Chain A
């Protein structure tokens, strides 16, 4: 039996909120993780005993209440299972905090670029950079207005927030990379860039910052199993060297990352993942 802790049972869903069509926010009781975690770290969870272990970034935490906040996009079976949970439900296993915390210093002026669900991953980093005295310009983007998340929250912790949508339904019409390119072209001083989002977005951002050699940190989302450095599922190539995302990362110097390899490794289980999700959807509709 798990102990009743302040704020709920261990791994209990305390609060759930749909942020957009397929992006969900979960507040989960996890007192030790809430106390220990730092910006940039993540957890690995298993919804039930038959589940897959998947990594999710710790977006925020409340050490007083002993809760952590996760924001996830429905991508396949496990995230669909998570999105179907209700307050009071419990997640079978949750391990963390994992990964190295973001290196936080006063760098001067930093630009944080978040795309899609990566906006959630960017939030704790923006907050920590701001608290460390940086001037933070945040650029967030989504395909369309309805898919945009955390706009207000980020506005509060950024010195400047620029929103872009691919379809022009809100904010600047275009990609976040174009917004960054624009800042660079205008000669804005940028000491560091953080790029967090889908792999193609991070790759493009790195291409934008490379000519002026603006240090660019990316947060990689390699497939993981244990996330303790035991299996090597999460290996990526950085500067020609093999690194394990879970223990050496998840943040790396974006200019050194082999995005091509990452993209291919992320597709390793495409067929099986599709099968798994279809099976789950059938079973759901079945009863």
Chain B
């Protein structure tokens, strides 16, 4: 192997991407992944710190230097196995985790130059394993006779199901939609997370013996208490923060105005971008405005471009610095020709005689004092309003808790905003009922939801093995 000095001279390996002009005409994945040579070179950049900062930067504490070392040595399958010791969805996380705010942010190489491309390496190892068809199926403990019901098949639910089945529990996931995956299948678009990857993860769980019942909305189909009465020993609620928030401004219910959830669900889950081959329609607007500055807004605006928009706008009331979206996604959107209207906020929508949105009135903003979240809060500028022509609008200003489970589960404590109150380990006010992911924290990240699933798996195991 090269000496340390040689290794630090290796530049951060670039990952090939589809050309922006081409990719806005398709829904295929944008970054194409590392080749084996690129991955090995990138892995060699890691200096294998004695006290690695990266591990602490990872919410589930993946053994980062460990798996990277295996890639450097060419043991790609070993690297994937190592990743899966702590992270059950590495192919997903390698693509969607905000590494720049987590592990890569604290990588020692980042102090002087560029950090190790941990996310890309993670993706490489997981893809290699999947493509090699060598998915490692771990040993599953013999059935212990206990049954667990998991409600919601998002990252939190999938993770806890995988952990508990390995410990010998009988696990059934109840999912309201017709497909498992949560936001990974209905929200995040194909061009950022191909659905076959999520499907492979779900198949893997089925192989381990997890039962997945789709089209089963808990609260209506069966209540949480009925699940307990049926003999499930514990219930985990990983139902996400799936309810859309609107701004309640005039004209917001005009035709052509969508919540991001609806727009993305039509496109991703229902495959409306392939209408009429698939039956679900979607508005293919020419002038599309997306309100918001997070990942959800970037996914929506990039979807609009791919659906044929001539003009796709991001309307955001703060500046690029405050945008919560991943830097990489903002960059991708810019490359693709998205027009950013910053320090701008909609105040009203105007429709035609058919009730279809035609224009929006926006207002310029300036940044005032920092608010509770530490971000400088936007203040409207008097007399700065003007009109923009639009024919499709996507509102991506956040989500909130869905009330179906709370309202049908007596004794389950909720906070003021309707989220379930849970301890670190997922325990709720009701014995035997655990919760984690977005339904506890509010809209967060895939990896945090997975971490919550893991914590609850441990807690349920302890609870049922008579630990307490």
Q: Residues of A with Cβ closer than 8 Å to B?
A: 32-33, 36, 46, 50-53, 77-78, 92-98, 225-226, 228-233, 235-237, 242, 247, 260-261, 264-265, 267-269, 272-273, 275-276, 279
Contact = CB atoms under 8 A, between A and B. Distances in A.
The 8 closest A-B pairs by CB, nearest first: A264-B355, A231-B262, A272-B281, A52-B279, A95-B215, A232-B259, A230-B242, A269-B281
B255 interface: yes
Contacts of B275: 272, 276
A156 B354 CA distance: 43
Interface of B: 176-178, 186, 214-217, 220-222, 242-244, 246, 248, 252-253, 255-256, 258-259, 261-262, 265-266, 270-271, 275-281, 283, 354-356, 402-404
A265 B255 CA distance: 6
A98 B281 CA distance: 23
A62 B389 CA distance: 53
Contacts of A32: 221-222
A120 to B, nearest CB: 21
Contacts of A51: 279
B242 A265 contact: no
B221 A235 contact: no
A261 B253 contact: yes
Contact of A225 (B214, B262, B271): B262
A121 B161 CA distance: 39
A57 B82 CA distance: 51
Nearest to B243: A229
Nearest to B351: A264
A170 B7 CA distance: 90
A156 B243 CA distance: 42
Given A33-B221, A230-B244, A276-B276, 15 more contacts: A32-B221, A36-B220, A50-B271, A93-B178, A95-B178, A225-B262, A229-B242, A229-B402, A229-B403, A236-B253, A242-B246, A247-B404, A261-B253, A265-B255, A267-B355
B84 to A, nearest CB: 29
Nearest to B352: A264
23 contacts: A32-B222, A36-B221, A50-B279, A53-B178, A94-B215, A95-B215, A95-B216, A95-B217, A225-B262, A229-B242, A230-B261, A231-B259, A231-B261, A232-B262, A242-B248, A242-B252, A242-B253, A247-B402, A264-B354, A264-B355, A265-B255, A269-B281, A273-B281
Contacts of A77: 279
A265 B254 CA distance: 7
B83 to A, nearest CB: 31
A232 B220 contact: no
A235 B402 CA distance: 15
B246 A232 contact: yes
Contact of B261 (A53, A232, A237): A232
B393 to A, nearest CB: 13
A93 B214 CA distance: 9
Q: Is the interface of B mostly helix, strand, loop or mixed?
A: loop
Given A93-B214, A231-B261, A261 B355 contact: yes
A247 B221 CA distance: 14
Contacts of A53: 178, 270, 280
Given A36-B221, A225-B262, A272 B244 contact: no
B300 to A, nearest CB: 13
Contacts of B178: 46, 53, 92-93, 95
A33 B216 CA distance: 10
B255 A228 contact: no
A226 B265 contact: yes
Contact of A276 (B186, B216, B279): B279
Contacts of A237: 253
A258 B221 CA distance: 31
Contacts of B258: 232-233
Nearest to A77: B279
Contacts of A226: 176-177, 265
B450 to A, nearest CB: 21
A82 B9 CA distance: 65
Contact of B265 (A94, A225, A272): A225
Contacts of A242: 246, 248, 252-253
Contact of B220 (A52, A92, A97, A267): A97
A279 B253 CA distance: 30
Contact of A230 (B248, B265, B276, B277): B265
A258 B61 CA distance: 53
B52 to A, nearest CB: 40
Contacts of B277: 50
A61 to B, nearest CB: 14
A98 B217 contact: yes
A195 B177 CA distance: 31
Contacts of B279: 50-52, 77-78, 276
Given A36-B220, A36-B222, A265-B355, A228 B404 contact: yes
A214 B217 CA distance: 35
Given A78-B279, A95-B176, A276-B276, A228 B217 contact: yes
A265 B271 CA distance: 21
B217 A230 contact: no
A87 B217 CA distance: 26
A230 B270 contact: no
Contacts of A232: 244, 246, 258-259, 261-262
